[in-house]
Amino acid sequence: MTERELRILLNDMSLEEKVGQMVQLPGQNYGSFAAVTGKAEKKEDGQPILDQAGSTLGIYGAEKLKKIQKAYMEKQPHHIPLMFMLDVIHGYETAFQCPLGMGASFDPELVKKCAEIAAKEAAAGGIHVTFSPMADLARDARWGRVMESTGEDPWLNGKMAAAMVEGFQGENRKQTGKVSSCVKHFAAYGAATAGLDYTNVELSEHTLREYYLKAYQEGIHAGCDMVMTSFNTWNGVPSTGNPWLMKEVLRKEMGFDGIVISDWGAVGEMVNHGFCEDRKEAAERALKAGVDIDMCSDCYADYLVDLVREGVIDEKEIDEAVYRILLLKNELGLFENPYKDADEQREKELFLCEGHRRTAREMVQKSAVLLKNEEDGKAGKLLPLNPAEKIAFIGPYIEGEDMRSSWVVTGSAKNSVSICQAAKEAFRDDQICFAKGCTLLDNDTLLNGSEYHSDSWEEDNDRLLCEAIQTAKQADVVVLCLGEQNHQSGEATSRTHLTLPKIQRTLLSEISKVNPRIVTVIFSGRPLELSEVETHSKAMLEVWMPGTEGGHGIMDLLTGVCSPSGKLTMSFPYTVGQEPMSYSQLTSGRPCPKGSKAPFLTRYLDCSTAPLYPFGYGLSYTDFSISEPTLDRTEMQAGETIVASVTVANGGKRTGCEVVQLYIQDVAASCVRPVKELKGFRRVELAPGEAQRVTFSISEEMLRFHRGDGSFGSEPGKFRLWIGNSSEDGEAREFFLY
Ligand code: GLC
């Protein structure tokens, strides 16, 4: 349709019909198979809103959605198509690595490719919009949703969010295999107080603007069609009812002109927050804050028509919202083809096809982070595994546990490649042996909406432990596969402790007594407390929630088919007491020199202020060296650049990939600045003996920030830069901006 035709359609719609477009109903209202990602209430059959709602979420599948669309459009007064939305967070049928892992690849191009594949599969399944990327800055591992983020650095998160938007939407989302994307959760959900979901965020406006808004801005610059409001309040005002945040900042300053959708139930939850007297006031405040679609709270459905009739809301505001919704449906081509890409044959061709699996496997290879790989006697380091040795694969993650994150609403764990399966493909039967070792969870573990309990838990674990000890004794080396259960991270999974389940720590300790040559593979959707694992392991590989090709990708790394190259995008603490933490923190008036015991300095009495493993850290199977940086000049003005160079060399015996990172510090400014900030990175693949010059151009634009007077720009003065293999590596160099 032309925009003129859209305007004519809008003008021909009744007020009830217009409001209907602003209502999103849970998929249960259209199909019992719907995935539930919130408190879902099903409407009574026959209720007019069922034929008026403009969109739904949680249902998927070409055949089913085509039937639903056909039936819906026959009843919809102007035959306006329904928009189908879904959380395609890291893949559809082919589940990729979770986003916190994808970020660790430091490979935006690969992240984009994963999003492209996810879009193709989802579009074939009838989906029009994905609620991704999540661009929240995540610095508190107590918050389970760090799993859906790409970590603690705003600039890297922006790169990854833009890559996902481009992957999902392409140049034109009307094209086959493209879906609309939705940047979320606006704003600053990752700063949730005490790491708790649905609560409050206390940030200064400066901190909000300088750190927390950056990645959303990159997603908007990349052209995302939607932005989702966050559950939290910011300084006491719910995002969903905050006109300053949604209109002044998001639309005027950040230039977003697409659809604003609330999070699930967030409009109605403003009553629980104590911001609205009742749901009618919630509808009014959300509309006036600029929320176009009410996801599943029914406040718009129940009250918007009355609010307009009572003169509380101007129908023009309704028209603006509805026009944006009709425009997106038009940009998706739904008026011409309401089924878009829904196609059972394409589903069969695309789902889990060889090429998609290959990309999923590559992402596992590049996102896993080698945390430790100790010398192990004459044979060198423990990893990669020595094929001449007998290997015991032990632990609850060797088979039967879902390696996909809790944000998979489609697909099946049975399509995943387990560690067992991959080991049997990689080794002869006489080289390997297996034991489960223990249950994944301690008994009576609370999960999101369920609780794990087994009446035979104690005797089962006694038996499993005995079997594991016997298995470990007969092997030369043990690969211990431990971790969080996949529903221990994600939404509503806040935790006050970050250790592995006690039963797993017992297994690790008992195995180490009979066979100390342990490689521990850690599955998690967040940073965990790994000091105990570090003590008992000669090698450690963090694999996050690796998805459908987890077994293959991990085995490729364990056997040396490829070398690990992932780098942490969140700091791993010694203890949860250090949370929230970030490499890019501000310093203090009394910084404590490393190892100093002098009094009256910034420190903990019982723990380091540093992380166990820092942002940007990750080892390789080969030995990289990075020279001290050289600068082509040490002074610059606006419009000029400084070129910083290093030589990266592979002095080891294996091909590997190093992620060379550039960090910059603004030494003194009108607002205190972080001790360092990531400003560039390069993945450099080198064969043994190879060396490569890596250069970074530093511009004045890179030095801009929200200054003390609230303006945005750079300030003259001294800067430092580091180029290294982590946020704790590299020799500082100084330069000046005049
Ligand atoms: C959930 C999540 C949000 C998701 C939405 C729809 O509550 O907060 O990230 O996209 O509901 O499932």
- Output the DSSP codes for 153-202: -HHHHHHHHHHHHHHHH-S-TTSTT--EEEEEEETTGGG-GGG-TTSEE-
pLDDT over 70 percentage in the chain: 100
* Beta-carbon contacts of residue 316 (< 8 Å; ≥ 6 apart): none
Strands (E), 341-458: 369-373, 391-394, 432-435, 445-447, 450-452
Helices (H), 522-612: 531-536, 550-558
Ligand 1 atom with minimal separation from the 184 CA: 9
Q: Report DSSP state, residue 80.
A: P
pLDDT at 188: 98
Q: What is the pLDDT of residues 468-485, one digit of tens each?
A: 999 999 999 999 999 999
One-letter amino acid at 251 equals R
What is the C-alpha to C-alpha distance for residues 383 and 688, in angstroms, rounded to an integer? Answer: 17
pLDDT at 444: 97
Give the residue carrying structure tokens 């403003």. Answer: 270
What is the C-alpha to C-alpha distance for residues 251 and 248, in angstroms, rounded to an integer? Answer: 6
Please, which pLDDT band fits residue 47 given cuts at 50, 70 and 90?
confident
Q: Which of 196, 263, 407 to mutate to test the pocket of ligand 1 (most atoms within 8 A of CB)?
A: 263
Among protein residues, the one whose CA lies closest to atom 11 of ligand 1: 264
Span from the CA of 38 to the centroid of ligand 1 (angstroms):
7
**Between 39 and 101, where is the model more confident?**
101
pLDDT at 95: 98
Please, which pLDDT band fits residue 407 given cuts at 50, 70 and 90?
very high
Above 80 in pLDDT, residue 302? Answer: yes
| CB of 131 sitting under 6 A from ligand 1 | yes
pLDDT at 657: 98
pLDDT at 587: 93
| CB of 145 sitting under 6 A from ligand 1 | no
| CB of 38 sitting under 6 A from ligand 1 | yes
Span from the CA of 557 to the centroid of ligand 1 (angstroms):
34
Which candidate, 579, 563, 561, places its Cα nearest to that of 571? 579
**Mean pLDDT value across residues 123-140:** 98
Span from the CA of 551 to the centroid of ligand 1 (angstroms):
28
Which candidate, 500, 520, 511, 533, places its Cα nearest to that of 466? 511
**Mean pLDDT rounded to a whole number for the chain:** 97
Span from the CA of 148 to the centroid of ligand 1 (angstroms):
11
Above 90 in pLDDT, residue 144? Answer: yes
Above 90 in pLDDT, residue 37? Answer: no
- Whether the link from the prior residue into 591 is cis, omega within 30° of 0, is no
| CB of 343 sitting under 6 A from ligand 1 | no
Surface-to-core class of residue 304, CB atoms within 10 Å of its CB (0-12 exposed, 13-18 middle, 19+ buried): buried
pLDDT over 90 percentage in the chain: 96
Q: Are 602 and 591 in contact (CB under 8 A)?
A: yes
363: left (phi over 0), alpha (psi -120 to 50) or beta: alpha
What is the C-alpha to C-alpha distance for residues 33 and 362, in angstroms, rounded to an integer? Answer: 32
| CB of 87 sitting under 6 A from ligand 1 | yes
Give the residue carrying structure tokens 């599943």. Answer: 296
Catalytic status, residue 376: no
Sign of CA dihedral 22, 23, 27, 32: negative
| CB of 269 sitting under 6 A from ligand 1 | no
3-state secondary structure 195-256: HCCCCEECCCHHHHHHHHCHHHHHHHHCCCCEEEECCCEECCEEHHHCHHHHHHHHHHHCCC
Above 80 in pLDDT, residue 724? Answer: yes
One-letter amino acid at 163 equals A
Catalytic residue among 263, 341, 556, 666: 263
**Mean pLDDT value across residues 115-139:** 98
Above 80 in pLDDT, residue 40? Answer: no
Among protein residues, the one whose CA lies closest to atom 8 of ligand 1: 263
Sign of CA dihedral 86, 88, 91, 95: negative
Residues making up the chain, counted from first to last: 738
Sign of CA dihedral 475, 478, 479, 481: positive
SS3 397: helix
pLDDT at 33: 84
pLDDT at 36: 81
**Mean pLDDT value across residues 491-515:** 98
Above 80 in pLDDT, residue 430? Answer: yes
Q: What is the pLDDT of residues 365-400, one digit of tens each?
A: 999 999 999 988 777 899 999 999 999 999 999 999
pLDDT at 299: 97
Other Cβ atoms less than 10 A from the Cβ of 65: the count is: 26
Ligand 1 atom with minimal separation from the 182 CA: 10
Sign of CA dihedral 75, 78, 80, 82: negative
Please, which pLDDT band fits residue 118 given cuts at 50, 70 and 90?
very high
What is the C-alpha to C-alpha distance for residues 315 and 424, in angstroms, rounded to an integer? Answer: 65
For residue 264 the two structure tokens come to 């699930």
What is the C-alpha to C-alpha distance for residues 5 and 570, in angstroms, rounded to an integer? Answer: 49
End-to-end alpha-carbon separation of the chain, Å?
54
Among protein residues, the one whose CA lies closest to atom 3 of ligand 1: 263
**Mean pLDDT value across residues 79-105:** 98
SS3 534: helix
| CB of 264 sitting under 6 A from ligand 1 | yes
| CB of 37 sitting under 6 A from ligand 1 | yes
What is the C-alpha to C-alpha distance for residues 659 and 201, in angstroms, rounded to an integer? Answer: 33
